[in-house]
Amino acid sequence: KNEVEQSPQNLTAQEGEFITINCSYSVGISALHWLQQHPGGGIVSLFMLSSGKKKHGRLIATINIQEKHSSLHITASHPRDSAVYICAASGAGSYQLTFGKGTKLSVIP
Amino acid sequence: GAGVSQTPSNKVTEKGKYVELRCDPISGHTALYWYRQSLGQGPEFLIYFQGTGAADDSGLPNDRFFAVRPEGSVSTLKIQRTERGDSAVYLCASSLTVGVLETQYFGPGTRLLVL
């Protein structure tokens, strides 16, 4: 079974700071997902990637398949970025997602 | 268009009772997924459907849990003889089709509390 670990568990940043959230997984995957969960439970898919790097606005996701590691970066952070960020991996040949526990981000004005 | 909806939004029940949780996926989405999220944890996979059939139910914790999707659209997660440990947020998601790079669209969840 794939184990998905995220760090840090909690992160507090000042508005404008560059933020990095890390995700590592234990076995080979077919895709890595980054999700955002706001208070109240709503989950939004941010990225899916199987290699390289993707960018959307101020968000950047990278993955290193050899090192079984992915990072989510937020540039010029803003209080509205405050949420829980979750990474999830789908195993090779499986559509089942294994989730990390999430990183709670608080951006202070 | 409408997103994924789930009803009820909150459910309080007593230990030993039967509950049904409903998920309405986005129209036209053939894949539907159920997850469970306990407090302070990431979601945990329960089951997914491709059309009407359960393609993978390996995440269901025991035989008290069962899910159906008889017409390939709405799905119902059924929990028999509820236990306090079943208390969690039950999340539903749908995607246009099954694929490792298919975006899953999540519903708001049903918060289940078993007293």
**Per-residue model confidence as pLDDT tens digits over B71-92:** 999 999 999 999 999 999 999 9
pLDDT band at A41 (very low <50, low <70, confident <90, very high): low
Chain centroid offset of residue B47 CA:
8
Give chain A's mean pLDDT.
92
Tokens at B65, concatenated: 């849990």
Work out the minimum CA distance from A100 to partner chain B, whole angstroms.
6
The residue in chain B having the minimum alpha-carbon distance to the alpha carbon of residue A4 is B42
The pLDDT of residue B87: 97
Burial class (CB in 10 A: 0-12, 13-18, 19+), B40: exposed
Query: CB–CB of B48 and A40 under 8 A?
Result: no
Instruction: Find the CB nearest A90 among B37, B43, B100.
Output: B100
Please provide the average confidence, as pLDDT, over all residues in chain B. 93
Name the pairing type of β-strands A103-108 and A10-14. parallel
pLDDT of B31 higher than 80: yes
Q: What percent of chain B has pLDDT over 70?
A: 99
Contact (CB<8Å) A48/B99: no
A10 interface with B at CB cutoff 8 Å? no
Q: What is the mean pLDDT of residues A75-80?
A: 96
Query: How far is B34 from chain A, CA to nearest CA, in Å?
Result: 10
Q: Which of the four pLDDT bands, split at 50, 70 and 90, describes residue A78?
A: very high
Helix (H) or strand (E) holding B113: strand B110-114
